[in-house]
Amino acid sequence: QSVLTQAPSASGTPGQRVTISCSGSSSNIGSNYVYWYQQLPGTAPKLLIYRNNQRPSGVPDRFSGSKSGTSASLAISGLRSEDEADYYCAAWDDSLSACVFGPGTKVTVL
């Protein structure tokens, strides 16, 4: 049972905007940065968003992150077939003194 909550799946057609939510508590998202990782099928995870809303170089600006209170969101605009992947949120949990991941959201491009 993860301390961060994500919907198991999300979908959209090419070009659409998809939003993935990550819900936590005051001990994690409420007091620490949120990170997002993308895992394409059969590959290692990739850093997608850091410090709530920053994109590493090379990540398209179609991906954006936001945080409010104890929740965070990842938005993918202009959805493309290559965006089909699992997306994980992560945050430090002060109570556990550990990094915690959400259970992941599988994005399907219809």
Partner 1 sequence: QAQLVQSGAEVKKPGASVKVSCKTSGYTFINYGISWVRQAPGQGLEWMGWISAYNGDTYYAQNLQGRVTMTTDTSTTTAYMELRSLTSDDTALYYCARDPGVTGSTYHMDVWGKGTTVIVSS
Binding site for partner 1 (CB under 8 A): 2, 35, 37, 39, 44-47, 50-51, 56, 86, 88, 90-92, 96-104
Q: How far is the CB of 82 from partner 1 (least distance, A)?
A: 18
Q: Which residues contact 21 (CB under 8 A, 6 or more apart)?
A: 6, 7, 71, 72, 73
Q: How far is the CB of 50 from partner 1 (least distance, A)?
A: 5
Burial class (CB in 10 A: 0-12, 13-18, 19+), 95: exposed
Nearer to partner 1 by C-beta: 58 or 81? 58
Nearer to partner 1 by C-beta: 79 or 91? 91
Chain-centre distance for alpha carbon 75: 8
Nearer to partner 1 by C-beta: 4 or 76? 4
**Rg of the chain's alpha carbons, rounded to an integer?**
13
Q: How far is the CB of 61 from partner 1 (least distance, A)?
A: 18
